Structure 1
Amino acid sequence: MAFPLEVLQNTRKSFKKILENTSLENLNKIPNGSKNNIIWNIGHILVTEQLLAHRLSGLKPMVSDDLIEKYKKGSQPEGPVDQQEVNLIKDLLETTVKNTSELYSKESFKNFKEYTVSTTGNTLTNIDEALQFILFHEGMHLGIVMSQLKVL
């Protein structure tokens, strides 16, 4: 397994622990000065990984179109998320990265469509660059979530 995928699995464990140890009310609470909440950040990293790794490679994401619409770049929380959706996201944190790892080992990400990310302006040209950016992106959102936890 590529090192970025190992780190990604560990990052996802951190997000999972946050989901398990934070009340539904606090997962949904939008701190003052913020446009989103903890559950949105976690749903967002999940969707972003699927779009950058899978969709840009011509593969079908493991997450529904509804989830993609709800958590994609530029979206915001539209209301409280229920426990069922939290559980779905928690399960997908593990299953999606496991699937991505399996597909990576089978070299399934060959037909990668170049994409310039708005966050840094870098152009991703292959799956390895996408995985490196995904790690940066998830680390950034982990920091946001940890900051939100401190103010709740």
Structure 2
Amino acid sequence: MKEASLYEQLEMYRYSLGIAISDVTEEEANIIPKGFNNNIRWNVGHVLVSTDAMILTMAGFPSTLPEEWGQYFMRGTSPQNFTDETPTLAELQEASQEQMRKLRALVEGKLDTPLANPFELPKTTIYTSGDGLTFCMFHEGLHMGQIQGIRKLVK
């Protein structure tokens, strides 16, 4: 498989995410429907922060996002703890596109760069930026499903 194909696939997932949230209002993005733990805004932010960590910062590359975004969107966080400083959906949408532009420039040809601390998951371990990139495609699809489910309930 060519490395370019991996970036194209990730960009396709991110494009689909952009389409799914393009008509979601800030108010709708903040609703946590019954049966869900998070809202659309948290899911989008979580995808961005996770992608940044697993492909870039855990391997020593510079982040594409403000450092403080992790406190709102990393695993184990909750929209219940959002503040006035939490990025809006519009800010997340803008950062999403910017992240895709920067990510490829930062890691192209360097996907074998090891993570400082391998990330263990059930049945596998993420050792390199490339491993992180392929996992992020699955991860983004998982959260896209959550976003689509919430979207149906809030629109």
TM-score range, shorter chain: 0.7 to 0.9
Q: Is the Cα–Cα contact under 8 Å of residues 112 and 125 in structure 1 kept in the other structure?
A: yes
Tell me what 1:124 maps to. Answer: 126
Q: Is the Cα–Cα contact under 8 Å of residues 4 and 135 in structure 1 kept in the other structure?
A: no
Q: Which runs of 4+ in 1 moved over 3 A?
A: 79-84
Higher mean alpha-carbon deviation, 18-27 vs 67-76, is at: 18-27
**Structure 2 CA distance for partners of 1:83 and 1:67, relative to 1, 3 Å:** closer
* TM-score normalised per structure 2: 0.86
Higher mean alpha-carbon deviation, 139-148 vs 99-108, is at: 99-108
Selected match of 1:43 from 37, 45, 52: 45
Unaligned runs of 5+ in 2: none
The letter of the residue matching 1:46 is: L
Residue pairs, 1:2-151, within 5 angstroms: 2-77=4-79, 78-79=81-82, 85-107=88-110, 110-118=113-121, 120-151=122-153
Residues paired across the two proteins, number:
151
Partner Cα distance (2:109, 2:14) in 1: 22
* TM-score normalised per structure 1: 0.87
Cα deviation, residue 30, structure 1: 0.2
Summarize deviations over 1:50-91 as a string: whole Å, max 9, x none.
011111111221111211111011101024779972222111
Partner Cα distance (1:80, 1:14) in 2: 28
When the two chains are superposed, the root-mean-square deviation of aligned CA atoms in Å is: 2.3
Higher mean alpha-carbon deviation, 139-148 vs 100-109, is at: 100-109
Summarize deviations over 1:96-117 as a string: whole Å, max 9, x none.
1221111222527624324234
Unaligned runs of 5+ in 1: none
